[in-house]
Amino acid sequence: MPPRRVVSLCPSITETLVAIGGLSRLAAATRYCVRPKGLLWGLPRIGGTKDPDVGRIVDLKPDLVFANQEENRIEDVRALERAGVEVDVTFSKTVADVPGAIRQWGSRLGGASEAQAEDLARSIEEAHESLAREKPARPFQYAYWIWKDPWMTVSDDTYVADLLRLAGGLNVFGAEPDRYPAAEPSESAARGASVQIFPSEPFPFRRARHDQLTRELFGSDAIRLFVDGDDYCWHGVRTLDGLKAMRELRGELREKLA
């Protein structure tokens, strides 16, 4: 029987569950689950992605909890399972992984959600294939910064880097063994990064607040882009926005690098 009450421990999963018709079955979500905007008012909150209130979740008596291998902690997943709660865990590391995860969520919800999930998965596959078939983007070397103090970036073993490949991005920290390596701003320039990308999350980079700082640290010659982090790192229904952002980035950099 399809689950009647589900809990989501990952913001991008929450957004996608709503997109495939699961809103009425959401019993709770994390405090970071804010999308779709305006549709989650009054939904019980069970802590953050890294510190969920396991006892509270168990008390809500969900039939199923959705989690992400990267966003959530294995110890919380195991604690829920020991309490008899079923947990669905996915981990999309590439754009190509996303349709399969969406189909899995639709299958778990069952009913009309399965068909809606299939429609969404196909839309992503078509958008991905369309972008990949287009004239190759002009290659550019970049660093994508997810944190400051300490400064941290991403390796090629990430969804973000896979998405940026579609825009012609060559990650100067791509070969690092850590998926999210610490690095100094000066090191990115030394490695040849001509494009520095500052997303709005997980660290809240904002042009109004960080324009001067990044100019001083990365140099006035660098192309500094302040982007919507949700579009670049949330996977699921948001992948459609990510693919659109890559098409727009291609055009923007074609002009800036001309």
Same-domain pairing of 16 and 116:
yes
Q: Is residue 237 situated within a structural domain?
A: yes
How many whole angstroms from its chain centre is CA 173?
A: 19
**Burial (CB count <10 Å: 0-12, 13-18, 19+), residue 196:** buried
Residue 220 has a pLDDT of: 80
Same-domain pairing of 15 and 62:
yes
CATH of the domain at 84: 3.40.50.1980
Residue 258 has a pLDDT of: 67
Residue 244 has a pLDDT of: 97
As a whole number of angstroms, the distance between CA 23 and CA 43 comes to: 10
Same-domain pairing of 169 and 123:
no
Q: Final residue of a domain: which of 79, 99, 130?
A: 130
Same-domain pairing of 149 and 103:
no
Same-domain pairing of 110 and 60:
yes
Residue 137 has a pLDDT of: 73
Q: Final residue of a domain: which of 108, 130, 152?
A: 130
As a whole number of angstroms, the distance between CA 50 and CA 32 comes to: 11
As a whole number of angstroms, the distance between CA 7 and CA 10 comes to: 9
pTM strictly above 0.75: yes
Q: Is residue 97 situated within a structural domain?
A: yes
Residue 204 has a pLDDT of: 96
**Burial (CB count <10 Å: 0-12, 13-18, 19+), residue 177:** exposed
Domain that holds residue 21: 6-130
Q: Is residue 135 situated within a structural domain?
A: no
Tens of pLDDT, residue by residue over 78-120, are: 999 999 999 999 999 999 999 999 999 999 999 999 999 999 9
Q: Is residue 235 situated within a structural domain?
A: yes
Give the sheet arrangement for strand 195-199, strand by strand.
Answer: 169-171, 140-144, 195-199, 223-227
In contact, 21 and 109? CB cutoff 8 Å: yes
Based on the structure, what is the number of domains in the chain?
A: 2
Q: Which residues of the chain have pLDDT under 50?
A: none
Same-domain pairing of 167 and 91:
no
Same-domain pairing of 106 and 202:
no
Q: Final residue of a domain: which of 130, 162, 184?
A: 130
Residue 221 has a pLDDT of: 85
Please identify which residue in the block is written with the tokens 């110890």. 75
Same-domain pairing of 89 and 107:
yes
